[in-house]
Amino acid sequence: MDSPENKKRLEDIYNQLVHIANGNFSYQIERTDKNDALEALTFLVNSTTEELRDAFLYQGFIKMPNSYEMVVQLYFELDGKGQIIKTNPTVDTLLHFKEGTLNGLPLSQLLEKSSQKGWKKLLKASPKDRIWELTLQLSLSEQSGLLLSSLFHIIYFPEYGNQLATFMMTSFDLVKKEETDQGFLQKKLKQQLQAHGLLPKPQKTDTHILRAVDLENLRKAKQHIMDNLDMPLPSIKELAHFCNTNEYKFKKGFKELFGMTAFQYQKHERLRKAHMLIEHSNKTILAIARTVGFKKGNHFAREFKKRYGYSPSVLRRLSK
Protein backbone atom coordinates (compact mmCIF):
# COMPACT_ATOMS: atom_id res chain seq x y z
CA MET A 1 0.00 0.00 0.00
CA ASP A 2 2.99 2.28 0.55
CA SER A 3 4.75 1.96 -2.78
CA PRO A 4 4.75 5.16 -4.85
CA GLU A 5 2.79 3.33 -7.52
CA ASN A 6 0.03 2.35 -5.10
CA LYS A 7 0.02 5.84 -3.60
CA LYS A 8 -0.64 7.18 -7.11
CA ARG A 9 -3.43 4.65 -7.69
CA LEU A 10 -5.10 5.64 -4.42
CA GLU A 11 -4.70 9.31 -5.35
CA ASP A 12 -6.45 8.62 -8.67
CA ILE A 13 -9.38 7.04 -6.81
CA TYR A 14 -9.64 10.08 -4.50
CA ASN A 15 -9.56 12.45 -7.47
CA GLN A 16 -12.22 10.50 -9.32
CA LEU A 17 -14.51 10.47 -6.27
CA VAL A 18 -14.05 14.22 -5.87
CA HIS A 19 -15.12 14.71 -9.49
CA ILE A 20 -18.17 12.51 -8.94
CA ALA A 21 -19.03 14.43 -5.78
CA ASN A 22 -18.99 17.55 -7.95
CA GLY A 23 -21.37 16.08 -10.47
CA ASN A 24 -18.65 15.49 -13.03
CA PHE A 25 -18.89 12.04 -14.57
CA SER A 26 -16.66 12.56 -17.58
CA TYR A 27 -13.56 10.79 -16.29
CA GLN A 28 -12.45 7.22 -15.78
CA ILE A 29 -9.56 5.90 -13.72
CA GLU A 30 -6.85 4.14 -15.68
CA ARG A 31 -6.84 0.38 -15.02
CA THR A 32 -3.72 -1.67 -14.36
CA ASP A 33 -2.89 -5.34 -14.73
CA LYS A 34 -3.13 -5.93 -10.99
CA ASN A 35 -6.00 -7.67 -9.24
CA ASP A 36 -5.56 -6.39 -5.69
CA ALA A 37 -7.90 -4.34 -3.49
CA LEU A 38 -6.99 -1.06 -5.21
CA GLU A 39 -7.86 -2.55 -8.57
CA ALA A 40 -11.16 -3.82 -7.19
CA LEU A 41 -11.95 -0.30 -5.94
CA THR A 42 -10.89 1.21 -9.25
CA PHE A 43 -13.23 -1.07 -11.14
CA LEU A 44 -16.16 -0.29 -8.85
CA VAL A 45 -15.60 3.47 -8.90
CA ASN A 46 -15.37 3.43 -12.72
CA SER A 47 -18.55 1.38 -12.99
CA THR A 48 -20.36 3.71 -10.59
CA THR A 49 -19.26 6.70 -12.65
CA GLU A 50 -20.65 5.13 -15.82
CA GLU A 51 -23.96 4.32 -14.16
CA LEU A 52 -24.34 7.86 -12.84
CA ARG A 53 -23.36 9.26 -16.19
CA ASP A 54 -25.99 7.21 -18.01
CA ALA A 55 -28.65 8.14 -15.47
CA PHE A 56 -27.96 11.85 -15.90
CA LEU A 57 -27.63 11.53 -19.64
CA TYR A 58 -31.17 10.25 -19.69
CA GLN A 59 -32.45 12.98 -17.40
CA GLY A 60 -30.65 15.57 -19.48
CA PHE A 61 -32.54 14.46 -22.55
CA ILE A 62 -35.97 14.61 -20.98
CA LYS A 63 -35.42 18.24 -20.06
CA MET A 64 -35.35 18.20 -16.28
CA PRO A 65 -34.83 21.73 -15.08
CA ASN A 66 -31.39 22.66 -13.67
CA SER A 67 -29.85 19.43 -14.83
CA TYR A 68 -27.12 18.25 -17.15
CA GLU A 69 -28.10 19.90 -20.39
CA MET A 70 -25.08 21.72 -21.63
CA VAL A 71 -23.23 20.09 -24.45
CA VAL A 72 -19.51 20.73 -24.31
CA GLN A 73 -17.39 20.56 -27.39
CA LEU A 74 -13.74 19.63 -27.49
CA TYR A 75 -11.90 20.98 -30.52
CA PHE A 76 -8.38 20.15 -31.66
CA GLU A 77 -6.60 21.44 -34.73
CA LEU A 78 -3.52 19.41 -35.65
CA ASP A 79 -0.88 19.72 -38.34
CA GLY A 80 -0.32 17.01 -40.93
CA LYS A 81 2.00 15.15 -38.53
CA GLY A 82 -0.51 15.08 -35.68
CA GLN A 83 0.91 17.92 -33.60
CA ILE A 84 -1.52 20.24 -31.81
CA ILE A 85 -1.79 23.69 -33.41
CA LYS A 86 -4.70 24.99 -31.40
CA THR A 87 -7.47 23.91 -29.07
CA ASN A 88 -10.57 25.55 -27.66
CA PRO A 89 -10.47 26.73 -24.01
CA THR A 90 -12.73 23.86 -22.93
CA VAL A 91 -9.96 21.41 -23.72
CA ASP A 92 -7.68 23.17 -21.26
CA THR A 93 -10.45 23.23 -18.66
CA LEU A 94 -11.48 19.58 -18.98
CA LEU A 95 -7.94 18.26 -19.21
CA HIS A 96 -6.67 20.67 -16.56
CA PHE A 97 -3.80 22.06 -18.56
CA LYS A 98 -2.72 25.69 -18.44
CA GLU A 99 -3.90 27.67 -21.44
CA GLY A 100 -1.56 27.28 -24.40
CA THR A 101 0.59 24.51 -22.89
CA LEU A 102 -0.81 21.93 -25.27
CA ASN A 103 0.29 23.71 -28.46
CA GLY A 104 3.16 21.99 -30.19
CA LEU A 105 2.58 18.67 -28.46
CA PRO A 106 1.89 15.60 -30.57
CA LEU A 107 -1.65 14.42 -29.89
CA SER A 108 -0.37 10.91 -29.10
CA GLN A 109 1.27 12.30 -25.99
CA LEU A 110 -2.17 13.14 -24.61
CA LEU A 111 -3.65 9.79 -25.51
CA GLU A 112 -3.97 6.76 -23.26
CA LYS A 113 -1.90 3.75 -24.35
CA SER A 114 -4.57 1.78 -26.19
CA SER A 115 -5.78 4.91 -28.01
CA GLN A 116 -2.20 5.73 -29.02
CA LYS A 117 -1.99 2.55 -31.06
CA GLY A 118 -5.14 3.34 -33.00
CA TRP A 119 -4.09 6.93 -33.58
CA LYS A 120 -0.59 6.04 -34.79
CA LYS A 121 -2.04 3.51 -37.18
CA LEU A 122 -4.42 6.12 -38.52
CA LEU A 123 -1.64 8.68 -39.01
CA LYS A 124 0.43 6.14 -40.89
CA ALA A 125 -2.19 4.50 -43.04
CA SER A 126 -4.52 7.37 -43.90
CA PRO A 127 -4.45 9.00 -47.36
CA LYS A 128 -2.57 12.29 -47.49
CA ASP A 129 -3.85 13.63 -50.79
CA ARG A 130 -7.60 13.93 -50.25
CA ILE A 131 -10.21 14.91 -47.68
CA TRP A 132 -11.51 12.15 -45.50
CA GLU A 133 -13.38 11.90 -42.21
CA LEU A 134 -14.16 9.26 -39.65
CA THR A 135 -15.39 8.83 -36.10
CA LEU A 136 -13.10 7.30 -33.51
CA GLN A 137 -13.33 6.62 -29.79
CA LEU A 138 -10.27 8.08 -28.05
CA SER A 139 -9.17 8.25 -24.42
CA LEU A 140 -7.23 11.33 -23.35
CA SER A 141 -5.15 11.68 -20.21
CA GLU A 142 -6.10 14.53 -17.96
CA GLN A 143 -3.29 16.32 -16.07
CA SER A 144 -3.48 14.19 -12.94
CA GLY A 145 -3.79 10.91 -14.81
CA LEU A 146 -7.53 10.30 -15.05
CA LEU A 147 -8.92 9.40 -18.46
CA LEU A 148 -11.43 11.29 -20.55
CA SER A 149 -12.97 9.03 -23.16
CA SER A 150 -15.03 10.46 -25.99
CA LEU A 151 -16.19 9.86 -29.51
CA PHE A 152 -14.21 12.14 -31.79
CA HIS A 153 -15.10 13.14 -35.29
CA ILE A 154 -11.85 13.55 -37.27
CA ILE A 155 -11.59 15.40 -40.58
CA TYR A 156 -8.39 15.56 -42.62
CA PHE A 157 -7.78 18.46 -44.99
CA PRO A 158 -4.90 17.85 -47.44
CA GLU A 159 -2.42 20.51 -48.48
CA TYR A 160 -4.06 23.05 -50.78
CA GLY A 161 -2.26 26.06 -52.23
CA ASN A 162 -0.85 27.94 -49.27
CA GLN A 163 -2.77 25.88 -46.74
CA LEU A 164 -0.83 23.12 -45.06
CA ALA A 165 -2.49 19.82 -44.30
CA THR A 166 -4.54 19.83 -41.11
CA PHE A 167 -6.63 17.60 -38.89
CA MET A 168 -9.79 18.87 -37.23
CA MET A 169 -11.07 16.84 -34.29
CA THR A 170 -14.28 17.53 -32.40
CA SER A 171 -16.15 15.76 -29.65
CA PHE A 172 -19.21 16.38 -27.46
CA ASP A 173 -19.90 15.68 -23.82
CA LEU A 174 -22.81 16.21 -21.45
CA VAL A 175 -21.73 18.27 -18.46
CA LYS A 176 -23.55 19.82 -15.48
CA LYS A 177 -25.18 23.08 -16.33
CA GLU A 178 -23.70 25.93 -14.30
CA GLU A 179 -26.23 28.31 -12.86
CA THR A 180 -24.01 31.28 -13.64
CA ASP A 181 -24.95 34.66 -14.99
CA GLN A 182 -24.07 33.33 -18.39
CA GLY A 183 -26.65 30.55 -18.06
CA PHE A 184 -29.27 33.03 -16.92
CA LEU A 185 -28.54 35.39 -19.80
CA GLN A 186 -28.65 32.53 -22.27
CA LYS A 187 -32.07 31.53 -20.95
CA LYS A 188 -33.34 35.10 -21.21
CA LEU A 189 -31.98 35.42 -24.72
CA LYS A 190 -33.60 32.16 -25.75
CA GLN A 191 -36.97 33.32 -24.41
CA GLN A 192 -36.64 36.64 -26.29
CA LEU A 193 -35.79 34.92 -29.55
CA GLN A 194 -38.69 32.53 -29.14
CA ALA A 195 -41.08 35.41 -28.47
CA HIS A 196 -39.95 37.02 -31.75
CA GLY A 197 -40.36 33.76 -33.64
CA LEU A 198 -36.64 33.43 -34.37
CA LEU A 199 -36.31 30.23 -32.38
CA PRO A 200 -38.89 27.42 -32.31
CA LYS A 201 -41.07 27.59 -29.21
CA PRO A 202 -40.88 24.58 -26.86
CA GLN A 203 -43.73 22.23 -27.70
CA LYS A 204 -46.35 21.76 -25.01
CA THR A 205 -46.26 18.00 -25.15
CA ASP A 206 -45.71 15.68 -22.23
CA THR A 207 -44.52 17.27 -19.03
CA HIS A 208 -44.33 13.70 -17.86
CA ILE A 209 -41.04 13.29 -16.05
CA LEU A 210 -39.77 9.92 -14.93
CA ARG A 211 -38.25 10.00 -11.50
CA ALA A 212 -35.52 7.64 -10.33
CA VAL A 213 -37.99 5.48 -8.41
CA ASP A 214 -40.22 5.19 -11.48
CA LEU A 215 -37.23 4.15 -13.59
CA GLU A 216 -36.40 1.43 -11.09
CA ASN A 217 -39.97 0.11 -11.02
CA LEU A 218 -40.29 0.12 -14.79
CA ARG A 219 -37.04 -1.81 -15.07
CA LYS A 220 -38.43 -4.32 -12.58
CA ALA A 221 -41.52 -4.71 -14.75
CA LYS A 222 -39.35 -5.20 -17.83
CA GLN A 223 -37.29 -7.83 -16.02
CA HIS A 224 -40.46 -9.57 -14.84
CA ILE A 225 -41.69 -9.81 -18.44
CA MET A 226 -38.27 -11.03 -19.56
CA ASP A 227 -38.18 -13.72 -16.83
CA ASN A 228 -41.68 -15.02 -17.62
CA LEU A 229 -41.80 -15.07 -21.41
CA ASP A 230 -43.63 -18.40 -21.47
CA MET A 231 -46.50 -16.95 -19.41
CA PRO A 232 -49.22 -14.73 -20.86
CA LEU A 233 -48.57 -11.02 -20.34
CA PRO A 234 -50.02 -9.70 -17.08
CA SER A 235 -52.76 -7.08 -17.57
CA ILE A 236 -51.74 -3.44 -17.62
CA LYS A 237 -53.60 -3.12 -14.32
CA GLU A 238 -51.40 -5.79 -12.74
CA LEU A 239 -48.21 -4.35 -14.22
CA ALA A 240 -49.10 -0.86 -13.04
CA HIS A 241 -49.78 -2.23 -9.57
CA PHE A 242 -46.40 -4.00 -9.71
CA CYS A 243 -44.84 -0.61 -10.39
CA ASN A 244 -46.79 1.23 -7.69
CA THR A 245 -48.36 3.55 -10.21
CA ASN A 246 -51.55 3.95 -12.24
CA GLU A 247 -52.28 2.43 -15.65
CA TYR A 248 -51.85 5.69 -17.56
CA LYS A 249 -48.47 6.47 -15.97
CA PHE A 250 -47.28 2.91 -16.45
CA LYS A 251 -48.18 2.82 -20.15
CA LYS A 252 -46.62 6.23 -20.80
CA GLY A 253 -43.55 5.52 -18.69
CA PHE A 254 -42.83 2.11 -20.19
CA LYS A 255 -43.16 3.40 -23.73
CA GLU A 256 -41.01 6.44 -23.01
CA LEU A 257 -38.26 4.45 -21.32
CA PHE A 258 -38.14 1.44 -23.62
CA GLY A 259 -39.54 2.81 -26.86
CA MET A 260 -42.32 0.24 -27.11
CA THR A 261 -45.38 -0.97 -25.22
CA ALA A 262 -45.13 -3.83 -22.72
CA PHE A 263 -46.92 -6.10 -25.17
CA GLN A 264 -44.51 -5.23 -27.99
CA TYR A 265 -41.57 -5.75 -25.66
CA GLN A 266 -42.78 -9.20 -24.67
CA LYS A 267 -43.22 -10.20 -28.32
CA HIS A 268 -39.79 -8.75 -29.12
CA GLU A 269 -38.13 -10.77 -26.37
CA ARG A 270 -40.03 -13.96 -27.16
CA LEU A 271 -38.92 -13.85 -30.78
CA ARG A 272 -35.35 -12.99 -29.84
CA LYS A 273 -35.13 -15.93 -27.45
CA ALA A 274 -36.70 -18.21 -30.04
CA HIS A 275 -34.18 -17.05 -32.64
CA MET A 276 -31.35 -17.97 -30.32
CA LEU A 277 -32.81 -21.36 -29.43
CA ILE A 278 -33.48 -22.23 -33.08
CA GLU A 279 -29.98 -21.22 -34.02
CA HIS A 280 -28.11 -22.90 -31.20
CA SER A 281 -30.13 -25.88 -29.99
CA ASN A 282 -31.73 -29.02 -31.35
CA LYS A 283 -35.21 -28.58 -29.86
CA THR A 284 -38.07 -28.79 -32.34
CA ILE A 285 -39.43 -25.50 -33.58
CA LEU A 286 -42.82 -26.29 -32.11
CA ALA A 287 -41.27 -26.97 -28.70
CA ILE A 288 -39.35 -23.70 -28.92
CA ALA A 289 -42.52 -21.82 -29.82
CA ARG A 290 -44.23 -23.24 -26.72
CA THR A 291 -41.19 -22.48 -24.55
CA VAL A 292 -41.30 -18.83 -25.49
CA GLY A 293 -45.03 -18.55 -24.93
CA PHE A 294 -46.68 -19.01 -28.33
CA LYS A 295 -49.58 -21.45 -28.12
CA LYS A 296 -49.82 -22.09 -31.86
CA GLY A 297 -46.94 -23.03 -34.15
CA ASN A 298 -48.35 -21.22 -37.19
CA HIS A 299 -48.91 -18.00 -35.22
CA PHE A 300 -45.30 -18.19 -34.04
CA ALA A 301 -43.94 -18.84 -37.53
CA ARG A 302 -45.94 -15.89 -38.91
CA GLU A 303 -44.67 -13.45 -36.25
CA PHE A 304 -41.12 -14.77 -36.63
CA LYS A 305 -41.09 -14.22 -40.36
CA LYS A 306 -42.63 -10.77 -39.95
CA ARG A 307 -39.83 -9.73 -37.63
CA TYR A 308 -36.82 -11.39 -39.23
CA GLY A 309 -37.82 -11.74 -42.89
CA TYR A 310 -37.20 -15.49 -42.95
CA SER A 311 -39.13 -18.38 -41.43
CA PRO A 312 -37.98 -20.41 -38.40
CA SER A 313 -37.40 -23.49 -40.53
CA VAL A 314 -35.13 -21.58 -42.90
CA LEU A 315 -33.06 -20.42 -39.94
CA ARG A 316 -32.93 -23.97 -38.62
CA ARG A 317 -31.73 -25.23 -41.97
CA LEU A 318 -29.05 -22.55 -42.21
CA SER A 319 -27.85 -23.22 -38.67
CA LYS A 320 -27.11 -26.87 -39.11
Partner 1 sequence: MKRIVETELATMWLENDILFFVWKEQVAIDLSGAKKTVARRMLLQQGKPYRILCNINGVRHIEKEAWHYLSGEGAELVQELVLIAATPLERVFSKYISTRMRSAPIKVFPDMETARKYLLHSR
Considering the complex, what minimum distance in angstroms separates the CB of residue 96 from partner 1?
Answer: 25
Assess contact for 218 and 257: CB atoms under 8 A. Answer: yes
Considering the complex, what minimum distance in angstroms separates the CB of residue 114 from partner 1?
Answer: 9
Assess contact for 142 and 12: CB atoms under 8 A. Answer: no
Measured between alpha carbons, how far is 161 from 159 in angstroms, rounded to an integer?
A: 7
40 binds partner 1 (CB under 8 A): yes
Nearer to partner 1, 54 or 230 (CB): 54
Q: Which region, judged by CB under 8 A, interacts with partner 1, from 29-37, 84-92, 230-238, 299-307?
A: 29-37
Measured between alpha carbons, how far is 225 from 232 in angstroms, rounded to an integer?
A: 9
Nearer to partner 1, 31 or 117 (CB): 31
Report how many residues bind partner 1 under the rule CB under 8 A: 26
Considering the complex, what minimum distance in angstroms separates the CB of residue 304 from partner 1?
Answer: 17
Q: What distances in angstroms separate CA 319 from CA 182, 233, 302, 314, one per listed residue?
A: 60, 30, 20, 9
Q: Which region, judged by CB under 8 A, interacts with partner 1, from 36-44, 83-91, 180-188, 197-205?
A: 36-44
Q: What are phi and psi of 173, to 5 degrees?
A: -150, 150
Assess contact for 9 and 38: CB atoms under 8 A. Answer: yes
Assess contact for 132 and 169: CB atoms under 8 A. Answer: no
Measured between alpha carbons, how far is 269 from 272 in angstroms, rounded to an integer?
A: 5
- From the list 36, 99, 133, 216, which residue makes contact with partner 1 (rule: CB under 8 A)? 36
280 binds partner 1 (CB under 8 A): yes
Nearer to partner 1, 31 or 211 (CB): 31
- From the list 93, 192, 246, 282, which residue makes contact with partner 1 (rule: CB under 8 A)? 282
Closest Cα to residue 45, out of 171, 150, 173, 146?
Answer: 146
Measured between alpha carbons, how far is 26 from 39 in angstroms, rounded to an integer?
A: 20
112 binds partner 1 (CB under 8 A): no
131 binds partner 1 (CB under 8 A): no
134 binds partner 1 (CB under 8 A): no
Considering the complex, what minimum distance in angstroms separates the CB of residue 31 from partner 1?
Answer: 6
Nearer to partner 1, 84 or 222 (CB): 222
Measured between alpha carbons, how far is 297 from 319 in angstroms, rounded to an integer?
A: 20
In the stretch 45-74, what mask flags binding to partner 1 with x, by CB under 8 A? Answer: --x--x---x--------------------
Measured between alpha carbons, how far is 148 from 93 in angstroms, rounded to an integer?
A: 12
Nearer to partner 1, 44 or 164 (CB): 44
Nearer to partner 1, 102 or 147 (CB): 147
Q: What distances in angstroms separate CA 282 from CA 274, 311, 317, one per listed residue?
A: 12, 16, 11
Considering the complex, what minimum distance in angstroms separates the CB of residue 239 from partner 1?
Answer: 18
Helices then strands, counting H and E runs in the chain, come out as 12, 6
In the stretch 217-256, what mask flags binding to partner 1 with x, by CB under 8 A? Answer: ------x--xx-----------------------------
Sequence-distant contacts of 306-311: CB under 8 A, at least 24 apart = 307/268, 307/271, 308/271, 308/275
Which residue type does 79 have? Answer: D
Considering the complex, what minimum distance in angstroms separates the CB of residue 41 from partner 1?
Answer: 8
Which residues are at the interface with partner 1 (CB under 8 A)? 31, 33-37, 39-41, 43-44, 47, 50, 54, 223, 226-227, 272-273, 276-277, 279-283
